[in-house]
Each structure stands twice: as C-alpha cells, then as structure tokens.
C-alpha cells in the first residue's frame, strides 16, 4: 500500500471554486496546501480577467452603422412607394422626349440625338430595375460584412440616395437630357458594385451550418 | 452606462441622436466582449456592427425588463458566436472537433519560454476555449447557459474552461 496523494484535477478545482464541488474535493482542499494554492491562483486569474481594461475599436463604426440604417429606411420607403423607380424612369423618358422644345443650349434639340439618348436610357432603366430586384433578395441578417466592405456599402448607398434625389428632381423637366442619362448610368454602376458586395457575401454566408461540430 | 427610459423610447422611434447615444454608451462594452471572443480586431468590428444594427432595429423589443446592458450583451454574444461558428466552418479543414488547430502546427504559436501577460495569453487560447473562459469568468454565464448558447452541453463548457485554465497556467505563470 502507498499513501500517494491524488491532487485535484483542474475541473475539480474549478468546481470547488464555483461552489459546485463535492464534499471529498472540498475537504481535500482544506488539507492540501498544493491544491489550496492552486485554488487561490484560479481565483486570482478570474479577478485579473475581470480587471482587464475595456477596449475600443480603432475606427469609429457609427457612420457605417447609421448609413446602413438609412439604407434600410430608404428601402422600406421604396417598397411602400410602389414603384417610384418606374415613375422616375417614365419621367426621364418623357423629359427626354419633351426636351426638343428648347430649354437651352444644353438641351438635346436634334431629333436624332434625342432618339439616341432615349435608346441609351432604356437598357439602363431595365438593368437598374433588374439590379433592384436582385438587391431585394438580400437578407442582412444572414451575413456580417467586413468593416471595409461595410464602409464601401455605406458609401454606395449614400451615393445611390444622392443619385435618386437628383433623378426625382429631373422629373420637373428643364434638365439636360445627357445629365439624366449620366445619372441613370451612375445608378446602374453603383448598383452593380452594391449587388456584388452584398450578394457575394450573402452567398458565402449561406454556406454556414452548425459550426461547432 | 445607464440610459434614461426617455432616450430608449426615442431610440425605439428611430431617433438617430438617441440611437447614437445608445451606441456611445455601450460602444466599449460591446467591443470588449466581441474582441474577447473574436480572433482579431477586424472580426470584432464585424460583430460590433452587426450587433448595433440589430439593437437599432429591435430596441422597441426591449421593454425595460432587466437591464438594457443585459439585453445588449445577449445580442452581442449571439452575434459573436454566430461569427465564430461561421469562421469555424470556413476553417473546418484545419480544425479538429474541439477547436484546436491540427494540420497547421507549422503556423501555431511557439511554446513560450517565459510567462506572458494575461492579455497576450488570452490571445493564444483557441477561440472556443477563450469564449467559454470569458463568458464564464467575466460575464458570469453559467455552464448551462454557455452550453445552450453554443448548442452544446454544460459538460462541454466545463471541459473547455478547464482546458483554457490549463493553457493559461502554462502561458501565464
């Protein structure tokens, strides 16, 4: 027979510290300097962890967060507006057709140029609508954007807001038709990038499953 | 850190000024928690962003039952675990079931020959062990709660906590 002492395992020490240990473990700690010392050390580590200083991100994330919030609000408004995009598109085309009446030197006066602008505008409007439909499938809850991507999204969304505001203003008429075309072109370009960033991330995010296995 | 109910109410109405006040009040607490769970600053920023988007959208659900921080902390932990889970899926080929790298030993941190600071020692724990350690020791979650949040058992949480402390003992004498 040997009197070799079995010291407590880490899990047993933690259980004693947390008040969950059995009688045998507690009585062992009372009589064993080594285990008592280890228990004190575990208490000190916990205290040290709790005293670690708070941290702050290196960059201010609020602008990106509020940008995404505004985008959500805008998209809700778009949904409730039941196709303001169609109205804007119609307005753009009508404005171009009416631009031959002479609003100024920048206005398209020649029928051929007016027709060319209308022809350029139609596929842009179609593409814009197509991209909007794609974005409607975006589910923010299913993805986490990287900080840089979130910033890019925020910038793109702000840009789209400005473009859309400008497009709405063009419906009043008296605007250079080339400006309208450029606005729609910029809108399509911004949407293309936005779709790439958001839906690309989402496709990746959907591949997740139970990651603890 | 406590905010008045008027601010919370305004935030629920979508008042950006009130929402920013909520953000500024809990910015450090949320980031600290996210950073302790996540592998690096960038990941923690992702979690923080996602957390506050959720908070801004759902603050109307907070009805003053329990502390506001308790609710925000729960959202943060949930988002951080979701992020961690996603990261683990991406890295599945190089991780074993317990979250310790296998097959990437060449890139594993070298065994320290001198004790390191606690902060640095934390960084050297596996993400899962560090998460369990932080949630239990600092945030005060029970093993049962941690197990449920991670889709595991209380025993899993206890086991990870033991491993974390064993590793900390090796690193941080």
Asked if A179 and A143 sit in the same domain, the reply is: yes
Q: At what angle do helices A10-17 and B154-171 cross, to 10 degrees?
A: 110
A210 falls within a domain? no
> Is residue A81 a part of any domain in this protein?
yes
Does the beta-carbon distance from B32 to A69 stay under 8 Å? no
A22 shares its domain with A103: no
User: What pLDDT is recorded for position A81?
Assistant: 41
pLDDT of residue A89: 65
B114 pLDDT above the threshold of 50? yes
Comparing CA positions, the residue from B140, B134, B126, B107 lying closest to residue B171 is B126
Q: How far apart are CA B14 and CA A73, in angstroms?
A: 10
Domain annotation for chain B: domains and CATH numbers: 1-90 (1.10.1740.10), 93-173 (1.10.10.10)
Taking CA–CA distances from B27, the nearest residue in chain A reads: A56
A74 shares its domain with A42 = no
The verdict on A30 and A84 lying in the same domain is: no
> Is B19 in Cβ contact with A11 (below 8 Å)?
no
> Does B94 reach chain A within 8 Å, measured CB to CB?
no
Same domain, A37 and A69: no
Q: Which of A58-62, A151-155, B93-97, B150-154 has the lowest mean pLDDT?
A: B93-97
Distance, in Å, from the CA atom of B24 to the CA atom of B12, rounded to the nearest integer, reads: 16
pLDDT at B148: 93
Which of A134-138, A183-187, B29-33, B78-82 bottoms out in mean pLDDT, i.e. has the lowest?
A134-138
Q: Is the pLDDT of residue A109 over 60?
A: no
Query: Predicted ipTM?
Result: 0.83
Average pLDDT over residues A20-35: 91
Return the closest-CA partner of residue A187 out of A144, A147, A103, A131: A131
Greater model confidence, A149 or B35: B35
Chain A: closest CA distance from residue B61 (Å): 17
A87 and A165 housed in the same domain:
yes
Record: contact A65-B52, CB cut-off 8 A: yes
Q: What's the structural domain count of chain A?
A: 2
Spatial contact of A112 and A171, defined as CB atoms under 8 Å apart: no
Q: What is the pLDDT of residue B97?
A: 47
| Mean pLDDT across B88-100 | 58
Other C-beta atoms lying within 10 Å of the C-beta of residue A123: 11
A203 confidence band (pLDDT: 50, 70, 90): low
Distance CA A122, CA A186 (A): 14
Specify whether the CB–CB gap between B39 and B130 falls below 8 A.
Answer: no
Mean pLDDT of A128-156: 70
The CA–CA distances, whole Å, from A127 to A70, B78, B128 equal: 24, 38, 45
Compute the nearest-CA separation of A124 from chain B (Å). Answer: 32
Distance CA A121, CA A124 (A): 5
- CA A190 – CA A76 distance, rounded (Å): 19
Q: Which residues pair with B95 in a beta bridge?
A: B101
Q: Which two tokens stand for residue A204?
A: 């990746």
User: Which of A12-16, A178-182, B49-53 is least confident?
Assistant: A178-182
Same domain, A29 and A77: no
- Tally of residues, chain A: 213
Contacts of residue A99, defined as CB under 8 A and 6 or more positions apart, other chains included, come to A107, A108, A109, A114, A177
pLDDT of residue A99: 53
B44 chain-A contacts, CB cut-off 8 A:
57
Distances (CA, A) of B100 to A14, A61, B96, B126: 22, 31, 6, 6
Question: Does B23 contact A at CB distance below 8 Å?
Answer: yes
Residues 6+ positions from A42 with CB-CB distance below 8 Å: A13, A14, A17, B165
Same domain, A36 and A74: no
Q: Is B26 on the interface with A (CB under 8 A)?
A: no
Residue A167 domain-assigned (yes or no):
yes
Section B99-119 average pLDDT: 51
Average pLDDT over residues A90-102: 58
Helix (H, G, I), strand (E, B), or coil: what is residue A15? helix
Picking from B45, B150, B161, the nearest residue to A212 by CB comes out as B150
To the nearest whole number, what is the mean pLDDT of chain A? 75
Any domain includes A190: yes
Residue A104 and residue A181 share a domain: yes
| pLDDT score, position A43 | 96
* pLDDT of amino acid A111: 56
CB contact under 8 A, B88 and A212: yes
Which of A42, A147, A211 is opposite residue B42, by nearest beta carbon? A147
Residue A114 belongs to some domain of the structure: yes
Rounded to whole angstroms, the Cα distance separating A97 from B49 reads: 46
Out of B27, B137, B159, name the one closest to residue A56 (CB): B27
Burial class (CB in 10 A: 0-12, 13-18, 19+), A124: buried
> A212 vs chain B: nearest CA distance in angstroms?
6
Residues of B in contact with A147 (CB under 8 A): 42, 45-46, 49
Q: Which residue of B has its CA nearest to A205?
A: B86
A175 domain-assigned: yes
What's the start-to-end Cα distance of chain A, in Å? 45
Does residue B84 sit at the A interface (CB-CB below 8 Å)?
A: yes
Determine the structural domain holding residue A155 and report its residue range: 62-205
Q: A188 and A149, same structural domain?
A: yes
- DSSP notation for A71-82: HHHHHHHHHHTT
Residue A73 in tokens: 């609000």
Residue A110: pLDDT above 70? no
Q: Which residue of A has its CA nearest to B141?
A: A18
Rounded to two decimals, the pTM is 0.63
pLDDT at B76 over 90: yes
Give the span between the Cα atoms of B150 and B8, in whole angstroms.
30
Whole-number Å distance between alpha carbons of B37 and B55: 19
Q: Are residues A115 and A80 in the same domain?
A: yes
What is B52-104 written as a DSSP string? HHHHHHHGGG--SSS-HHHHHHHHHHHHHHHHHHHHHHHTGGGB-TTS-B-S-
* B 123-162 near A (Cβ less than 8 A): 128, 133-134, 137-138, 150-152, 158-159, 161-162
Site from A49, A72, A152 to mutate, B interface, most B CB atoms within 10 angstroms: A49
Whether residue A95 lies inside any domain: the answer is: yes
> Residues A101, A32: one domain?
no
């Amino acid at each position: 027979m040997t009197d070799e002492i079995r010291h407590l395992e880490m899990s047993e020490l933690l259980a004693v510290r947390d008040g969950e240990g059995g009688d045998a473990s507690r009585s062992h700690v009372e009589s064993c300097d080594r285990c008592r010392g280890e228990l004190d050390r575990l208490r000190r580590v916990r205290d040290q962890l709790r005293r670690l200083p708070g941290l702050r991100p290196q960059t201010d994330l609020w602008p990106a967060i509020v940008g995404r919030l505004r985008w959500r609000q805008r998209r809700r408004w778009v949904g409730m507006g039941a196709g303001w995009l169609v109205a804007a598109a119609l307005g753009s085309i009508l404005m171009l057709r009416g631009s031959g009446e002479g609003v100024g030197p920048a206005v398209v006066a020649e029928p051929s140029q007016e027709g060319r602008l209308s022809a350029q505008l139609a596929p842009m409007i179609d593409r814009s609508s197509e991209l909007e439909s794609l974005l409607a499938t975006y589910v923010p809850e299913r993805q986490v954007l990287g900080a840089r991507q979130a910033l890019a999204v925020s910038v793109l969304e702000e840009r789209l807001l400005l473009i859309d505001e400008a497009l709405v203003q063009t419906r009043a008429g008296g605007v250079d038709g080339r400006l309208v075309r450029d606005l729609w072109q910029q809108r399509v370009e911004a949407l293309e990038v936005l779709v790439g960033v958001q839906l690309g991330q989402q496709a990746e995010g959907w591949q997740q499953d139970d990651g603890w296995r | 850190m406590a905010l008045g109910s008027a601010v919370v109410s305004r935030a629920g109405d979508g008042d950006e000024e009130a929402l920013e006040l909520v953000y500024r009040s809990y910015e450090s607490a949320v980031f600290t928690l996210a950073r302790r769970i996540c592998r690096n600053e960038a990941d923690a920023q992702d979690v923080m962003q996602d957390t506050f988007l959720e908070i801004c959208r759902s603050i109307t659900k907070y009805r003053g039952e329990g502390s506001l921080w308790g609710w925000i902390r729960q959202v943060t932990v949930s988002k951080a675990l979701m992020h961690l889970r996603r990261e683990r899926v991406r890295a599945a080929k190089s991780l074993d079931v317990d979250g310790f790298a296998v097959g990437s030993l060449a890139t594993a941190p070298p065994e320290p020959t001198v004790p390191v600071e606690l902060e640095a020692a934390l960084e050297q724990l596996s993400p899962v062990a560090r998460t369990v350690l932080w949630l239990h020791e600092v945030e005060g979650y029970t093993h049962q709660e941690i197990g449920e949040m991670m889709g595991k058992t209380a025993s899993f949480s206890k086991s990870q906590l033991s491993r974390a402390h064993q590793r900390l003992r090796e690193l941080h004498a």
